Each structure stands twice: as C-alpha cells, then as structure tokens.
Amino acid sequence: MKIVVSACIMGENCKYNGKNNKNQLVIDFLKDKEVVCICPEMLADLGVPRPCAEIVNGIVMDENGNNIHSEYSQGVARALAEIQEEDIDFVILQSRSPTCGVNQIYDGSFSGRLIPGMGLFAQALKQQGYKVIDVEEIVQRLDNTRS
C-alpha cells in the first residue's frame, strides 16, 4: 500500500511558522506502508518560516497582502509531478491549509474563521481522481478502532 501524506503530519518542520503538525497516531498507522511525504508549499520554494497564507476570493494571498497564488500553484504542479508515476492508494492531507485543506479552509480574513472549502493541492488531487482524506478524519477512525 502506498500513501501520500502531508510532510508536516510526519513531523517535517515545513509549516509557515517553522513548525510541524506531527501526528504520532498517523505515523504509527503508516509504519507498515510505503509513504510519500510531500509539501507543495516547500516545493514552491516559499521557505520556512514564511508569512501565513489564506485563500481570499479564490486567490492565495499572504498576511501582508501579497498575491502568492502563482507560487502556490507551481508548488502544487511540482507535487503532482512527483506522484504522477506512483500507484497511490490514498492521500492524507493536513486540515485547513491553503494547499492541503480537504473539508475546510480559513476564510481569507486571517482571523482564524473557517469555511467549507479545499486547498489547491487537495482540489487538484480530487480532480485527478485520487482518494483524499483529511488527517482529522483518519485520526477519528484510528481512535475509534483503539477503543
């Protein structure tokens, strides 16, 4: 089984703030599987740390008001290119990210408010037919199997 996972979930310090979203439950679940770690934002050469970004009216903007949509789109294209020859069973993506959010994203006001929506990478994966799962969904499933 081969699974693509947001690199931050695996403990890679690639978030905008230089931190990660390490999730030991997911890491343990993936121990006997082939894992492809990927971060479209790092593939966009945005650096770490970097200004926080959200999708504002369909365009990725950073907290300083800069339009960085093309950089994010390039990162998504590079991420897709990295996995196009792989036989991927499914993809686990980090919640709420402007690239990886599956069910919700921030509303673009940089106030922490969430709205239904998908990040650019999640959208592209779905359009190409990949099975995409929000990390919070898989954690909930794993928690249910442990109890």
Whole-angstrom Cα distance, residue 6 to residue 40? 9
Q: Does position 10 have pLDDT exceeding 80, yes or no?
A: yes
pLDDT band with cut points at 50, 70 and 90 for residue 56:
very high
Q: What single-letter DSSP state applies at residue 5? A: E
Say what the pLDDT of residue 147 is: 66
Domain boundaries, the chain: 2-51+69-94+119-146
| CATH class entry, domain 2-51+69-94+119-146 | alpha beta
3-state secondary structure 41-60: HHHCCCCCCCCCEEEECCEE
Q: With DSSP H G I counted as helix, E B as strand and the rest as coil, what are the percentages for the chain, rounded to 5? A: 35, 20, 45
Sign of CA dihedral 6, 9, 13, 18: positive
Quick: pLDDT tens for 74-100.
999 999 999 999 999 999 999 999 999
Q: Please give the single-letter amino acid code of residue 89.
A: D
SS3 8: helix
For 23-54, write each residue's pLDDT tens digit: 999 999 999 999 999 999 999 998 999 999 99
The pTM of the full predicted model, rounded to 2 decimals, is 0.95
Region 3-23 average pLDDT? 98
DSSP classification of residue 107: -
Does residue 144 have a pLDDT over 90? no
